[in-house]
Amino acid sequence: MNWDDGTGGNVPLSRQASAQVPLGYESVSGDRWAPGIETVASRSTGATNNCSATVSPRIPPSLSRRVPDRALRKRRLCLKACVDELEAVRNATADAIQKANSLAEARSHLRALWDLLEGTPDSEAVEEMVNVLQIALCVESPEALAPRQLVAIHSVLAKMYDDPDFGDEAANDLTQELIEGGVDVFREIG
Amino acid sequence: MSFVKLDDAHRPDSTEVFLDTSVHCCFHKGETLRPRLNWLLGLFSWKGTSTYSKVEYGNVILAAAQYYLRMLRELKSVARVLEHVGHVLAPQHREKRTWAFSLIQTLGKTEEERTRRAEASLRRLLKLGTAAVDARCDAPLADGTRCHWGRTGLRRGRDGKYTWKTPNCKSSNKACNVDGFFADRRETFELIKNTIDGLDASLLTDELKQFSRVIGEALEAPSMLLDYSCGCKLLADVLIAVDSIGYHNFATQNYRESQVLTKVLGQRCYYLPNNPENGVAILEDDGPNGEEFPTP
């Protein structure tokens, strides 16, 4: 191989012929061989813009959230534990002592979540709901909670577990669900 | 007419009850009322109310929540707020002494935590707004007046803070149907006025006299009711009572006015006194067969 071949060496510079690629009738520059890349031709037709509108930039969920993933995981842990304990309280076959223990455990998980939320101004709505639930579970014995109240509390906790970073509107829905379930959500300020 | 204290064996004639605003406010009046309130509501399977109650609920409960929240942020301690309300607040602001924060004292380990909890509860109450009225009743609510303020009185500022605005509705900017409601039920309002006018002086209260006067003015020009402060506000209890037509049972804490209104409307009046010794009472025309209510 001659080192001068094709390397520029001492061969005089000349414009190389561009590769001729047959384009289909409907093709527009840039859309077939390099989709999304704007060319002079595609700019004129707006093809790039059309394509870019269909593929929206995806922001990873972690970036759209206000609360770090680690904090959310901790919240979920507390809520899951609380949901599990409440299921034990609702379990008809469990005896009175088991139920009382589970209720106490549920309360301690909520307490942990309450402590976790301290000093998080972005999570006001979550803090309000945890406070409401702590008040709802502040009873002498599990028997003081009617089945429909337990169902409502359990359902609200499960929804909070699904999304532990919610805002005022969701908190309003959850509060309404508790009230409709017969839970006296504002007992503490009465 | 006399109030008779109910016993546990009492069964209402029908399954529905209409709650006036005073009953909605009872949910925030502490442990002395709560068990009796729950017992009373447990007698009925259908609970209704008027959308007009939302305005009154906002004016009483949400306005008080807003006041307490502001004081908490200012004084930074629930104990100091309670002291302020108990000792500094002028007697004419008695309605602000709504809450005792009794349970918060039990739950919070430190004053800091009690304050944090009180603030969280008050914030939640304020944000929920008048939806609390909907949540405690069966839908749809009676909506004769199509009260606009009950739906829009709670505002959210740019800073994200919620505020209950005192109504300032004007007839020049009609936003509800209170005049149309009055016109549709003109005969009922007229009957109420005639009944009040024919009452024995011992039964007349300032409020009943006011009802009669305002109904008289509205009979001439129903649109006067569109002005909140000199119109519908002065007739609130009557508007709510007339909105309750169709219900056989009416629950209230305002026995003086309600005993007249329920009689005109042919309803049974359930009364929830503040004093726990008096339990729950019902208005009997004659021949009470329960324990007679001593002094309502």
Does residue A90 surpass a pLDDT of 60?
yes
pLDDT for residue A23? 44
Give the nearest partner residue to A190 out of B28, B106, B124, using CB atoms.
B28
Q: What is the ipTM of this complex?
A: 0.87
Inter-chain contacts counted by CB atoms under 8 A, chains A and B: 78
Sorted by sequence, the CB contacts under 8 Å of residue B45 that are 6+ apart come out as B15, B16
Cα radius of gyration rounded to whole Å, chain A: 31
The larger pLDDT score, comparing residue B92 to residue A107, is at: A107
Instruction: With CB atoms and an 8 Å threshold, state whether B124 touches A128.
Output: yes
B-chain residues near A172 (CB < 8 A): 127-128, 131
pLDDT at B95: 66
Report the alpha-carbon distance of residue A52 to residue A66 in Å, rounded. Answer: 27
Of the candidates A168, A179, A190, the beta carbon closest to that of B136 is on A179
Of A125, A179, A188, Cβ closest to residue B103: A188
- Is residue B145 within 8 A of residue B52, CB to CB? The reply is yes
Distance CA A96, CA A105 (A): 14
Q: How far is CA B110 from the centre of its chain?
A: 34
Q: Is the peptide bond before B288 cis (omega within 30 degrees of 0)?
A: no
Q: Label residue A67 by pLDDT band (50, 70, 90).
A: confident
pLDDT, tens digit, 9 for 90 and up, residues A16-33: 545 544 444 444 444 444
Where is pLDDT greater, at A80 or B286? A80
| Residue B126 token pair | 């304020």
User: Which is nearest to A98 in space by CA: A86, A107, A109, A110?
Assistant: A86
Q: Could you tell me the residue ranges of all domains in chain B?
A: 2-286
Residue B211 and residue B254 in contact, taking contact as beta carbons nearer than 8 Å: no
pLDDT surpassing 90 at residue A2:
no
Closest residue, chain A, to B27 (C-alpha): A190
Residues of B in contact with A188 (CB under 8 A): 101-104, 107, 117-118, 121
Which stretch of A131-135, A168-172, B183-187, B290-294 has the lowest confidence by average pLDDT? B290-294
| B90: Cβ contacts below 8 Å, ≥ 6 apart | none
If we measure between CA atoms, which residue out of A121, A89, A124, A123 comes closest to residue A104? A89
Q: Say what percent of chain A tops pLDDT 90.
A: 48
> Quick check: A57 pLDDT over 60?
no
**How far from chain centre, in Å, is Cα A148?**
29
**Phi/psi-derived region of residue B123, left when phi > 0, alpha when psi is between -120 and 50, beta in every other case:** alpha
pLDDT in the model for residue B169: 94
pLDDT of chain B, 296 residues: tens digit per residue: 688 899 889 999 999 999 999 999 888 887 788 889 999 999 999 999 999 999 999 998 999 889 889 999 999 988 888 888 878 877 777 666 666 565 566 677 899 998 999 899 999 999 999 999 999 999 999 999 999 999 999 999 888 889 999 999 999 999 999 999 999 999 999 999 999 999 988 889 999 999 999 999 999 999 999 999 999 999 999 999 999 999 999 999 998 999 999 999 999 999 999 888 889 999 987 543 444 444 44
Is A176 touching B (CB cutoff 8 A)? yes
Contact B71, B97 (CB under 8 A): no
The beta-carbon neighbor of A138 closest among B107, B124, B125 is: B107
A148 Cβ contact partners less than 8 Å away, ≥ 6 residues apart: A181, A182
pLDDT at A163: 93
The pLDDT assigned to A8 comes to: 46
Which residue stretches of chain B are H helix?
Answer: 21-26, 34-42, 52-57, 63-75, 78-83, 102-107, 111-128, 131-136, 149-152, 178-184, 186-197, 206-220, 236-243, 255-265
The answer, yes or no, to whether residue A3 has pLDDT greater than 70, is no
Residue-level pLDDT at B3: 86
How buried is B175 (Cβ within 10 angstroms: 0-12 exposed, 13-18 middle, 19+ buried)?
A: middle
Distance CA B82, CA B97 (A): 9
- Check residue B143 and give its pLDDT: 96
What's the token pair of residue A17? 């012929």
Least confident of A20-29, A104-113, A171-180: A20-29
DSSP string, A67-119: S-HHHHHHHHHHHHHHHHHHHHHH-TTS-HHHHHHHHHHHHHHHHHHHHHTTT
Output the pLDDT for position A31: 42
A189 to B122: CB separation less than 8 angstroms, yes or no: yes
Q: What is the pLDDT of residues A4-15, one digit of tens each?
A: 444 444 545 545
pLDDT higher than threshold 60 for residue A46: no
